[in-house]
Chains A and B, each alone.
Chain A
Amino acid sequence: MDILLTLILLLPLAGGVINACFGKRLPRPVPVFIACGSVIGSFLAALGSFTLATGDGYRLVLFTWLKSGHFQADVGLLFDPLAAIMTLMVTGVASLIHLYAAGYMEEDTDQVRFFTLLNLFVFAMLTIVLADNLLLLFLGWEGVGFCSYGLIGFWYRKTENADAGRKAFIVTRIGDLFFAVALLWLFALFGTISIEGINAQVAGLDMTTVTLLSLLLLVGACGKSAQLPLMSWLPDAMAGPTPVSALIHAATMVTAGVYLLCRMFPLVSLSPTAMAAIALVGIATALYAATCALAQNEIKRVLAYSTMSQVGYMFLAVGLGSVSAAMFHLITHAFFKALLFMAAGCVINLAGHENDIRRMGGMRQRSPLVFWLFIAGLLCLAGAPLTSGFFSKDLILATAFARGDIFHQGLYALGVMTALLTSFYCFRLAYLVFGGDYRGDELPHEPNGLMVWPLLPLALLGLGAGLLNLPHLFAGGSWLSAWLGREQDVLHLAIATEYLLIGTAVAVFVLGWLLAALRYRQYVQRPASLSGDFLLNGWRADDLFDLLLVRPFKKIGRFCSQGVEIGLIEGVLGGTVRGCNDLGMRLRGLGAGKVSLYLQGLVWGFVVIVGWFLLRALI
């Protein structure tokens, strides 16, 4: 079993390393086989070792990574229910995405690099999931950052793409710093960085420390999960190839933050303040991203903002104290968002590599299969009744509602509001892309089979994943909550209340649909409005960051390099040099053959010597 568990991690790593070292020398399809094979193998290994994950989980230490003084970091795996379910999701979705990518990147000349990075990404993500200590988790955490950097900027010939990659790396790294500080602090407090060890000891901490630690972790999670205020990298990251968007920015990396908070839940949940902050960040991001999604014109940017919004829901769930709701939504979201992104890739191909939804339309006629797949995803996202998204989102909202106090009621109201917006932009997208007639002038570029058929299982999973945690009302057993060992997350509400909540959810879904239908059934060319522009640019957050952070940073840099380095330090050095030169010139003047000066020096010397002896004699 140990071998299987190790293989989960090792296969993607090996695939990546082999491709990196020898990929160029192998004949063309082989690197793709290696990449896909390794991830599928990893998925199978995860399936095989799934039974290990019961109770407190299974620990496996491979070797000691760093050991110094009291500090010890192992390369160790912790395979508990949470990790197991996440591993399955990651490897499963990643396998499908790899297959899709094999089709998508068929013609790209730089395939090897792509699959290398993709494999390494899966490895890093699995490291986050399986790590038994925070440092190893941090390795994965930074590893996914690097891989996403390479993948977002994959088409590096265009500078914008490379810029987007850099932005993603740096913005997420800001979050990472907070995580790093939390890690250091936790080690200083407990003398260990093992996740189990920390979670076992947190009870004794005082409240301020817990709150601060939780907030540090929260900011760290915000960076990776594109939550306020570190969200601005995600929309730009859509510059990457579509499979990357599907893998990184939908299914896995952005959920790493949620996963981290769930991992450290025993610590985080101790502090009500931190929990409230998490919930607030979540709901604020959800609402913010939903409003932004209303005005986006690029199909992938709409999805990017929707991702941000849905991850906001997950944060909300964590903030509400319901790990299983968060994980439930995480998993369902991974399925349907990967589906959506990959289907969007097909749509973009169909529209002749056109991203802009204003120049699409009529896509339904071009490929009904893609249409239905995309709609399946959209329905899940919009929360159509009985789809997975409906159940998972409803669980979060119901949890908020069930808490009863005014704060949580407010969260609930905002959540419902966000759901309305979600439904609205989903159908806006649907109408603009598939309804009406084709508005562009590009020839369709048929997606190949490899690009379409991995979507089928995802669509099925997306529609049916609600079964994982079906509530009692629908005769379900809340399996996920039970598996995660968090029975307390299962809601026990009055039947009437439950019906009321479900009714609200359905009503919101229908209302959003109707509004979108009213507005977007017939395509009308709309002039750019001020508010639309504001939303399109994500509330101008980029400009704000530019003003607040980037420009001051550049100014400081310029001050240091121009002012201090050249002005001060070189100035002082130059001054010293000039001073020495001047002194030298003067001294040289003294020796300029002027006998009277020599004589004067002689006499002065005499005077000094006589004076000295006199002084000695007198004293």
Chain B
Amino acid sequence: MIATVMFYLLGAVALGATGLAIIQRNPVYAVIYLVKSIFALALIFYLLGAPLVAALQVIVYAGAIMVLFLFVIMMLEVTPTNASTRSAPGWVQWAPVLLLALTLVTLTLVLIGLDPVTSEGIPRWHATPRDFGYALFKEYALAVKIISFQLSFAAVGAFHVGMTERRRAQLEDQS
């Protein structure tokens, strides 16, 4: 019972925080709101029986990814004044997108409503760390390896792309 109430509460928080995040002029605020939304989502994950994922959500998303965002924002000194000349989109820009989003939502709702099978509800259940570990390192072992490669590629790529001109020139001088 309390889980249900919590779900709706957390859902509302997630929605509200996300909504606030996307309309912020200053990206820093947006990131902060997003972190709030991520926390709410992490709790929902926990409610839905995924404590490990919930923890990772907090650690990786809020702790790593969002902080990376903050770093970049601060590094680039992106403030509303110099971020762009017309940073906050007005109604004119929002209207078609809102329409689009609404259509999308309506369509999804209709799709959901059409399927009678799903009206059962989510049972109370949680994955044991053992199950989780088994699946991850047995069935999905290959995926984990690929993902690790990918992460290292991404690191190299980010390093390469993010290099400054000066540094690039230096490197070329050396070679």
Contact = CB atoms under 8 A, between A and B. Distances in A.
Q: Are chains A and B touching directly in their complex (CB below 8 angstroms)?
A: yes
Interface of A: 600, 603-604, 607, 610-611, 614, 617-618
Nearest to B93: A596
Contacts of B76: none
Contacts of A611: 103, 107
Contacts of A618: 114
B110 A614 contact: yes
Contacts of B97: 600
Nearest to B100: A603
A594 B110 CA distance: 31
A617 B115 CA distance: 11
Secondary structure of the B side of the interface? helix
B162 interface: no
Contacts of B107: 607, 610-611, 614
Contacts of B111: 610, 614
9 contacts: A600-B96, A603-B100, A603-B104, A607-B100, A607-B103, A610-B107, A611-B103, A614-B114, A617-B114
Interface in B92-112: 96-97, 100, 103-104, 107, 110-111
A340 B100 CA distance: 98
Contacts of B96: 600
A618 B100 CA distance: 21
Contacts of B114: 614, 617-618
B110 A600 contact: no
Given A604-B100, A607-B103, A607-B107, 16 more contacts: A600-B96, A600-B97, A600-B100, A603-B100, A607-B100, A607-B104, A610-B107, A610-B111, A611-B103, A611-B107, A614-B107, A614-B110, A614-B111, A614-B114, A617-B114, A618-B114
Interface of B: 96-97, 100, 103-104, 107, 110-111, 114
A269 B168 CA distance: 114
Top 9 nearest A-B pairs (CB, nearest first) are: A607-B103, A610-B107, A603-B100, A614-B110, A607-B104, A611-B107, A607-B107, A604-B100, A614-B107
Contacts of B110: 614
Contacts of B103: 607, 611
B88 to A, nearest CB: 15
A611 B114 CA distance: 13
A56 to B, nearest CB: 93
A603 B99 CA distance: 12
A60 to B, nearest CB: 89
Nearest to A610: B107
A607 B110 CA distance: 13
Contacts of A600: 96-97, 100
Contacts of A614: 107, 110-111, 114
A602 to B, nearest CB: 11
A614 B113 CA distance: 12
A171 B16 CA distance: 91
B100 to A, nearest CB: 6
A32 to B, nearest CB: 91
B143 to A, nearest CB: 27
Contacts of A603: 100, 104
A617 B107 CA distance: 13
A302 B163 CA distance: 109
A614 B107 CA distance: 8
A594 to B, nearest CB: 12
A37 B107 CA distance: 102
A607 B99 CA distance: 11
A610 B111 CA distance: 9
A600 B110 CA distance: 21
A611 B107 CA distance: 7
B117 to A, nearest CB: 15
B68 to A, nearest CB: 22
A526 B84 CA distance: 96
Contacts of A610: 107, 111
Contacts of A604: 100
A397 B104 CA distance: 102
A6 to B, nearest CB: 89
Nearest to B89: A596
Nearest to B97: A600
A133 B3 CA distance: 113
Contacts of B104: 603, 607
A610 B110 CA distance: 11
B103 to A, nearest CB: 5
A618 B103 CA distance: 17
A603 B96 CA distance: 12
A30 B97 CA distance: 96
A614 B103 CA distance: 13
A607 B104 CA distance: 6
A604 B104 CA distance: 9
B2 to A, nearest CB: 37
A603 B104 CA distance: 9
A280 B110 CA distance: 91
A604 B99 CA distance: 10
